[in-house]
Structure 1
């Protein structure tokens, strides 16, 4: 009736951490590419805006007011938060897909990415209401890319090394 508990002994924690970092970079690249392709003259201000939205989680809402300009402290804090969240989300997904094949893992990653979008853009706005401004199709696609690349990278990194001759 109930599913078996996850056997965390089968999780490759190093692969999960690496997958989180890779997926965070891939998703950020996808988001920047989508901004560039579909939003006229949005770069770099939209990147600076989103960095401020994220950094405000630790630095407080005083970093939010316009203009969205480059600030190395804001960028460093936002990057730190993104990396930590990517790794945390990766550790969770690794527990869920460690025993699945690649097709099911990718499907789970896609669904997981959509779930993270819901958590980030609707759940987190109860605590950080300023995130509501980034609820758009580009952010949805970015989260799907994150989930897919997270699952795919985890499966690739957690494969056993080939044995010698």
Structure 2
């Protein structure tokens, strides 16, 4: 008799899309708080630098010539940040569900950490070819924050998903 408990091979299984979207939104909030806290605590950079870098995706790179707080820049950055958080949360759930990476908290956290690290590499090394201003945020603090984003998204998704939901 073969026993395949918690097998992590691919199987046709849909994620809970609503839980994935909320998880990405919540993890985006965690990431934003980490970025602001880190830059405020270390004093190494302008605490609004990340806000300007994110807003530049939709406002043009001219926004990088300014510094400090700006309501328009902050609103644009929040919109981009949370939309991307939701998209990335959905992507993570689309990977976790069919491979049953949501079978336990440790498995989900490892999957989320790997996803967050992959996001960091793609964003700050891959996309930096197009969005050259991303280079300013490269480093361990940003990499660790993205790992925490992935872990938070995976954990929130695991806690919110409804395995018995209607399709």
Shorter-chain TM-score range: 0.7 to 0.9
1:26-75 Cα offsets, whole Å, 9 max, x none, are: 122223333333x1375xx32x2211111111111111114x12111111
Whole-angstrom CA distance in 2 between matches of 1:36 and 1:18: 27
Whole-angstrom CA distance in 2 between matches of 1:41 and 1:113: 24
Report the Cα offset of residue 111 of structure 1. 0.5
What CA RMSD, in Å, does the superposition of the two structures yield over aligned residues? 1.8
Cross-structure match for 1:146: 149
**Contact 1:97 / 1:105 at 8 angstroms: preserved in 2?**
yes
Cross-structure match for 1:71: 70
**Contact 1:113 / 1:146 at 8 angstroms: preserved in 2?**
yes
Aligned residues: 152
Regions of 4+ moved over 2 Å: 30-37
1:109-153 Cα offsets, whole Å, 9 max, x none, are: 001010000011011111110110100111011001100001000
Q: What secondary structure, in the 3-state scheme, does the structure 1 residue paired with 2:65 have?
A: coil
Cross-structure match for 2:60: 60
Whole-angstrom CA distance in 2 between matches of 1:40 and 1:145: 21
Is 1:33 the counterpart of 2:37? The answer is yes
More deviation in 24-33 or 109-118? 24-33
**Contact 2:113 / 2:147 at 8 angstroms: preserved in 1?**
yes
Q: What secondary structure, in the 3-state scheme, does the structure 2 residue paired with 1:11 have?
A: coil
**Contact 1:30 / 1:145 at 8 angstroms: preserved in 2?**
no
Q: TM-score, normalised by structure 2?
A: 0.83
Is 1:49 the counterpart of 2:55? The answer is no
Q: Structure 2: any 5+ residue segments left out of the alignment?
A: 1-8
Q: Select the residue among 115, 119, 126 that pairs with 1:116.
A: 119
Q: TM-score, normalised by structure 1?
A: 0.84
Q: Structure 1: any 5+ residue segments left out of the alignment?
A: none
Whole-angstrom CA distance in 2 between matches of 1:124 and 1:145: 20
